[in-house]
Amino acid sequence: MDSDDSWLSTDDVAKRLKMPKKTLAAWASAGRGPRFARMGRYRRYRLSDLLVWEQEQLDKT
């Protein structure tokens, strides 16, 4: 398994992006932000998807 295919929790992503978990929740409900998968009642973010999303944000500037 590639390390970019690991799954991150909302806490992990919030810490990585240095933002509140509530911001990620608001983005998820609005269909914005990093791609995620629902696993039960939890959102999980694949590291490879997060890396792509981060690059897209840099490309917008």
pLDDT at 60: 83
d(CA 47, CA 22): 20
| Cα end-to-end distance, the chain, whole Å | 33
pLDDT at 4: 67
d(CA 29, CA 32): 8
pLDDT at 3: 66
Q: What confidence tier does 2 reach under pLDDT thresholds 50, 70, 90?
A: low
25-51, pLDDT tens digit by residue?
999 999 999 999 999 999 999 999 999
Whether the per-residue pLDDT at 18 is higher than 80: the answer is yes
Structure-token match 């970019």, residue found = 4
Phi, psi of 4 (to 5 degrees): -75, -10
Q: What is the pTM of this model?
A: 0.88
d(CA 8, CA 24): 13
